[in-house]
């Protein structure tokens, strides 16, 4: 059997069915800054600011495939690679056990082969220079060489809600990341929030023109 014909991982804590934002919303979101999406949504969805791209120029945009992984173990990340569909972004919580290298060159290569959209992890990764060469979008807390285990008896979840500080991320939510950070927007509001973000960007472009022409921010914003 080839990889294309092998079944996706299954189990009582794995959900395969995911509703995703429509293609037009995803395409529009790719052009928008995370800060704008966060502000236009009413200052929602900002994931922990420690999560940054391993290369500043990396950008990620796509539907969330959520993963709750046992700390110090990356077997559930391997499983999630083959539950996710092209364009999906793995959004991984590791229960606060940040200082392990949960992801590296091999997993990025596998994700590229699957045509996934990226990785956002509330933990560390390794093989930083190689990840930069591969170019697959990886957003993490940093780099750590500490190895992970593969405990087949450890319980994890795929496509159940995960909590990043006060932000709950659900499967199918819109994930956008750039050099400033990562924002997660509810799937059922994604189209509305993207449209609001586009309007905000247009308004701010007008303000910038007025500032360049000599007007003051104090008057423009009625401060």
- Report the distance separating Cα 147 and Cα 144, nearest Å: 8
Paired with 46 in beta bridges are 183
Check the annotation: does 187 bind a ligand: no
Check the annotation: does 104 bind a ligand: yes
Check the annotation: does 207 bind a ligand: no
Torsion angle, CA of 168/169/171/176, rounded to 10 degrees?
A: 160
Q: What is the DSSP letter of 8?
A: P
Check the annotation: does 27 bind a ligand: no
In sequence order, which ranges of the chain are alpha helices (DSSP H)?
A: 23-29, 34-40, 75-81, 105-113, 128-134, 190-212, 217-220
Check the annotation: does 106 bind a ligand: yes
Q: Under a CB-based contact definition with an 8 Å cutoff, are residues 178 and 189 in contact? A: no
Cα atoms in the Cβ-side hemisphere of radius 13 Å centred on 109: 6
Check the annotation: does 147 bind a ligand: no
- Which residue positions form the known binding site for substrate? 104-107, 126
Which residues define the annotated binding site for Mg(2+)?
Answer: 127
Residue stretches of the annotated binding site: 104-107, 126-127
């Amino acid at each position: 059997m080839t990889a294309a014909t092998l079944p996706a991982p299954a189990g009582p804590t794995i959900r395969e069915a995911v509703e995703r934002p429509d293609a037009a919303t995803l395409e529009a979101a790719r052009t928008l800054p995370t800060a704008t999406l966060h502000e236009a949504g009413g200052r929602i969805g900002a994931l922990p600011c420690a999560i940054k791209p391993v290369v500043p120029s990396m950008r990620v945009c796509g539907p969330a495939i959520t993963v709750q992984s046992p700390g110090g173990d990356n077997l559930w990340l391997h499983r999630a690679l083959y539950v996710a569909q092209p364009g999906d972004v793995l959004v991984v919580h590791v229960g606060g056990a940040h200082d392990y290298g949960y992801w590296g060159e091999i997993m990025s290569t596998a994700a590229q082969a699957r045509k996934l959209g990226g990785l956002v992890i509330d933990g560390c990764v390794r093989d930083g220079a190689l990840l930069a060469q591969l170019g697959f979008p990886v957003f993490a807390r940093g780099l750590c060489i500490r190895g992970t285990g593969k405990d087949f008896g450890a319980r994890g979840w795929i496509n159940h809600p995960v909590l990043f500080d006060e932000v709950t991320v659900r499967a199918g939510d819109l994930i956008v990341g750039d050099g400033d950070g990562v924002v997660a927007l509810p799937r059922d509001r994604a189209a509305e929030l993207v449209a609001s973000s586009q309007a905000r960007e247009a308004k701010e472009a007008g303000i910038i023109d007025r500032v360049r022409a000599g007007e003051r921010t104090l008057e423009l914003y009625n401060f």
